[in-house]
Amino acid sequence: MPGWPKPGPARTAFGWGLAAGAAVLFLFAAPTPYVLYEPGIVVPADELVTVEKRERPDRKAPESEARDGWLLATVYLRDRAAPWQVISSAWRRDREAHARRSVFRGESGEEYRRRMAVLTEESHAKALMAAFRAAGVRYEAVPDGVYVVRGAGRLRAGDRIAAVDGAAVRGLDELADALGVRAGRNAELTVMRDGRAFTVYVAADEGAAEESAPDGTAADGTAGSGTAGRFAADGTAGSGAGTVATAASAPRRLAGAELTERFAVRPEDPGLRVAIDTGGLAGPSAGLPLALHIYGQLTGEPLAGGRRIAATGTIEPSGAVGAVGGAGLKAIAAARAGADLFLVPEANRAEAAEAAESEGGGMSVAGVRTLEDALSLLRGDRALPR
C-alpha cells in the first residue's frame, strides 16, 4: 500500500512556526492563578513627611540627612503573572510567585486596595505615636471612627460604621455598648462608603466580639496591634491636622466583617504639625522608616551620620517592630538603590541578609525588635553586622 506523502520543507517549517507561536503566546499571555512580587521603588522618607515646629525650629536633623538619610523600601505586586514569569521565579531571587487566592483571600482587586488603605492609615499614625513617645512628646489619642478592615455581607473594606439606630459611634467600645443594649433584636447600622450613607441591619448579638489571629498577627500577616487607645509621653507633640487615623485596638468582628478603629491624635502643643502622605504606597510596612525619620526631625539627632539607611517593618505605638512580607525583595531594592544599611524586623533578618548578599555591594543588614533598638544601633551603642 502506498504511504502518505512526506510533508515538504515548507509545510514542516510552517508547522514548527505555528507550534513555536502557540508556545510563545502561552508563555507570555496565558492567564495563571498566581500573582508576582518583585523589588519595588525606594523612596526618601523626606518626600512623604512634613514636620513644622514653632517651638525650637532649630532642633531638626540636618537637611542632607533628612533628604538622603532615610529610605522606604517597597515591593511591587503584579496581580496578573504570565506563565514565563511564574516559571522564572523558581530560580530568580528578585521574583516571587504566590497563589492569587492566598494573597487576595476571596477579595476583588478593589476590596484588596481598600483594605490596604485602612492598614496604611493605621501604619502612619502608629509611626507618629511611636516617634512621639521616643522623642518624649505628649499627645492624646481618642477614637474617631470604626472602619471595616475585611468585608462580609454588605460591609466592604474601607466602610465606616457611623451610627447604631441613629446614635453616632466613634470607637469600638461605643459600638460594643450600643449593640450590647440591643441584645436579642436587630440593630440598624448607618454605614458610610465613598461619601454616601446606607443602612445595614444586623443581629445585635453578632457584633463587637474581639477576635484576632491565634498567633497575634493581622490579616495580612504583619504584626497585629493589641495596644490601648491612649498614649502619652513627656514633652509636647501631636498633629496640627487635627485627626490622624490609626487602628490601635485588636480587630473585632461584626456580622462576619473584621473591624478596627481610627484615632484622632491631638497635640498638647498646637505649634507642632506632622503630616504623612505616602501617595500610592500602600500597606503597613513603612511604619519603622517613617518613625525613624519623624524622630530625627523632632529631636535634631543626626542618626544617619551621612549613611543612606533603608528600612522596613510595622510598628506599634509602644515602638515594637513587627515582621513584614517580602523582606528579601525589599533588601534587593535597597541594595540596588545604593543603601549602606538596611534595617528590618529581627524575624526577617536572615531572609533579608541572604538576599542582600546575592546582590553584592556590601550593604549591611541589621535586625531590630523595637524602635529604641534601632536608635541604639544607629547611635553606635551596638556594633553593626559586617
Look at residues 173, 149, 62, 122 and name the one whose alpha carbon lies nearest to residue 282.
Answer: 122
Location of C-alpha cell 484622632: 264
The pLDDT value recorded for residue 253 is 82
**Distance (Å, whole) CA 116 – CA 57:** 34
Buried b / exposed e along 322-348 (16+ C-beta atoms within 10 A) = bbbbbbbbbbbbbbebebbbbbbbebb
For the question of whether the overall pTM of this predicted structure is more than 0.85, the answer is no
Residue 300 φ/ψ region, left for φ over 0, alpha for ψ in the -120 to 50 degree band, beta for the rest: left
CA distance 254 to 119: 18
**Higher local confidence (pLDDT), 266 or 230:** 266
Q: What is the pLDDT of residue 227?
A: 35
CA dist., res. 40 & res. 44, Å (int): 13
Cβ-proximal residues to 52 (8 Å cutoff; 6+ apart), any chain:
240, 272, 273, 274
pLDDT in tens, 8-33: 566 566 565 666 555 555 455 566 78
**pLDDT surpasses 50 at 233:** no
Tell me the pLDDT band of 42, cut-offs 50, 70 and 90: very high
- Cα 112 to Cα 89: distance, rounded to the nearest angstrom: 23
Task: Express each pLDDT in 78-127 by its tens digit.
Answer: 877 777 677 777 778 888 888 888 888 888 888 888 999 988 988 888 99
| Top-confidence range, 175-184, 198-207, 217-226, 275-284 | 275-284
Side chain identity at residue 137, one-letter code: V
Q: How many residues does the chain have?
A: 386
What pLDDT, on a 0 to 100 scale, did the predictor assign at position 73? Answer: 93
**Alpha helices (H) in the chain, listed in sequence order:** 9-29, 63-68, 83-88, 100-104, 109-135, 172-180, 287-299, 327-336, 349-359, 371-378
Cell numbers given for 162:
457611623
Q: Which residue has the cell 492563578?
A: 33
CA of 207: how far to CAs of 26, 183, 227, 238, 374, in Å? 48, 10, 20, 33, 39
State the DSSP code for 71.
E
Which of these, 270, 284, 279, lies nearest to 239 by C-alpha position?
Answer: 270
Three-class secondary structure of residue 165 per DSSP: coil
Q: Which of 32-36, 195-199, 324-328 has the lowest mean pLDDT?
A: 32-36
Based on C-alpha coordinates, what's the Rg of the chain? 25
Q: Which of helix, strand or coil describes residue 241?
A: coil
Determine contact, residues 311/340, Cβ cutoff 8 Å: no
By the 10 Å C-beta count (0-12 exposed, 13-18 middle, 19+ buried), 175 is classed as buried
Label residue 206 by pLDDT band (50, 70, 90).
low
C-alpha–C-alpha distance, residues 164 and 231, integer Å: 27
